[in-house]
Amino acid sequence: MKQWLQARHRGLFIRSYVVLAGGLLLVAILLDLGFSALQSRQVRVADPWLVSTFELLESQLAAVPTAERAALASRLAGKLKLELDVLDAADISSATPLEAGPSALEDDAGRLYYLWHSNALQGAIRLGPFEPARESRMIRFLPVLFYASILLIVGLWLRPLLRDLRVLTVASQKFATDYREPLDTARRTTQLTSLATNLDDMSARVSQLIQSQKEMTAALSHEMRTPLARVRFAAAVLEGEVDESLRGQLRAVNADVQQIDDLISDMLDYARLDHPGLRMSCQTVPLAPWLRQVLLACPPHERSVTTVQQGGIETLWMEPRLMELALSNLLANALRYAKQKVNITVMRDRDLYRVVVEDDGEGIPESDRQAIFRAFTRLDTSRNRDTGGFGLGLAIVARIAALHRGRVIAEASTSLGGAKLALEWPAA
């Protein structure tokens, strides 16, 4: 239930439902209270037939002497089939309010009488008993039915909006995973059709732009390698034919060509990782041989690299080729900035695998620990252009982590004092 409520579209539906239904209920309650207050302030008006009856009885009783009024009242009561009593002023309780019209009285048995104060008779006329009006049970449920109908109407009104919102959410999530398939939501919506149409058009344009950009990047990267190979070959031929003064310049040219070739390799790796056609082939990989292979592929260096397997971990569930690329980039980054030591720690923390690479360099400023994982990002401190790199290595690591449904985080190393980069992903 908690996960259901935490979903974004359901959260919007619940908030909208609470606001609309709560507002309507509040207005209904206030109107109900207002009408009740107005009704309580109204002066009670007697029924016309009751007033006419009392006036007729008063005129007939006032036309006979006082001694004969009791007998006349008895005869009139027989005709009316009600009790009719003529009361003297002394018989009327002082607590009984004197009103201009009939006053309703109720005896201990719950029977209803009406009392008419008459100046002509110097007393009052009491008529009754009348059966009290019985309230229908249905009336008691009318307010409940009214409020329930408000909740039902609001829910029915929001239901198609929720359905359209769910369609748009699922489609946009699918588009974020595979940009090659534009959205097609307009024909599946009813209330948000205009918004869905705009999103469909936007996704089609974005898909075309991204696809064109990636195809151009890949094509340029491949095409640039051919002239670079020619330049490198020419420099190697010339190096054996020129004097020593020009060989240093040819070696510098060859180093620049190698740097451009490395950049092209990184760009191709990054483009492949960002391609929606990439298919993951995760498997259980023995840890020790895999680590040795990564270390053997590492360029020559003078730093001390230590590997630690914590908790007796022997295997990893991963895509070995991609994870080897990620660890190679983490290790190259650490070796580039380390002074003497680099530590690689592999562990399993509950349901997560963690590969931690630490160095004893100057570390990464806390304000830049998120930016370093964006493509072509370099820092202005010791980790800048002068130390090498193109700002793609850590972006490749972040992409590989995302493909494994994991993440990579940058922290400060408590053991070595430099940077600490932790790559973690689910164990299953």
- The yes-or-no verdict on residue 59 having pLDDT over 50 is yes
Helix (H, G, I), strand (E, B) or coil at 256: helix
311-328 per-position pLDDT tens digit: 888 999 998 888 998 999
Mean of the pLDDT values across residues 329-351?
90
User: Regarding predicted confidence, which is higher, 292 or 176?
Assistant: 292
Task: Please tell me the predicted confidence (pLDDT) of residue 41.
Answer: 45
- The yes-or-no verdict on residue 387 having pLDDT over 60 is no
What percentage of the chain carries pLDDT values higher than 70? 82
Task: Please tell me the predicted confidence (pLDDT) of residue 96.
Answer: 52
Q: Could you tell me if residue 48 is left (phi over 0), alpha (psi between -120 and 50 degrees) or otherwise beta?
A: alpha
Task: Please tell me the predicted confidence (pLDDT) of residue 77.
Answer: 85
Mean of the pLDDT values across residues 174-196?
81
CA distance 79 to 76: 5
CB contact at 8 A, 262 and 221:
no
17-46 per-position pLDDT tens digit: 677 777 777 777 776 776 666 554 443 445
Task: Please tell me the predicted confidence (pLDDT) of residue 136.
Answer: 60
The DSSP 8-state label assigned to residue 43 in this structure reads P
Spans of all domains in the chain:
2-42+136-175, 48-130, 193-273, 283-426
CA distance 409 to 356: 10
How do 315-318 and 283-286 pair as beta strands? antiparallel
Of the candidates 351, 359, 363, 370, the one whose C-alpha atom is nearest the C-alpha of residue 425 is 351
CA distance 125 to 116: 5
198-244 per-position pLDDT tens digit: 888 888 888 888 777 777 777 777 777 778 777 777 777 777 777 77
CA distance 298 to 321: 15
Burial class (CB in 10 A: 0-12, 13-18, 19+), 3: exposed
Joined tokens for residue 421: 């980069």
Helices 244-273 and 193-239: angle between axes, nearest 10 degrees: 160
Strands (E), 209-329: 283-286, 304-309, 315-318
Q: What is the rounded average pLDDT for all residues in the chain?
A: 78
* Superfamily the domain 283-426 falls into: Histidine kinase-like ATPase, C-terminal domain (3.30.565.10)
Mean of the pLDDT values across residues 179-184?
78
Task: Please tell me the predicted confidence (pLDDT) of residue 276.
Answer: 59
Task: Please tell me the predicted confidence (pLDDT) of residue 1.
Answer: 42
Of the candidates 86, 83, 82, the one whose C-alpha atom is nearest the C-alpha of residue 60 is 86
Task: Please tell me the predicted confidence (pLDDT) of residue 146.
Answer: 74
Tally of CB atoms within 10 A around 205: 10
Helix (H, G, I), strand (E, B) or coil at 4: helix
- The yes-or-no verdict on residue 386 having pLDDT over 50 is no
Architecture of domain 193-273: Orthogonal Bundle (1.10)
Task: Please tell me the predicted confidence (pLDDT) of residue 277.
Answer: 62
CB contact at 8 A, 315 and 284:
yes
CA distance 428 to 426: 5
113-162 per-position pLDDT tens digit: 888 888 888 888 888 887 766 656 666 676 777 777 777 777 777 788 88
Give the torsion through C-alpha atoms of 235, 241, 245, 249, to 10 deg.
Answer: 0
CB contact at 8 A, 407 and 401:
yes
CA distance 250 to 262: 18
Burial class (CB in 10 A: 0-12, 13-18, 19+), 54: buried
List the Cα angle 313/315/318 in 5-degree steps: 125
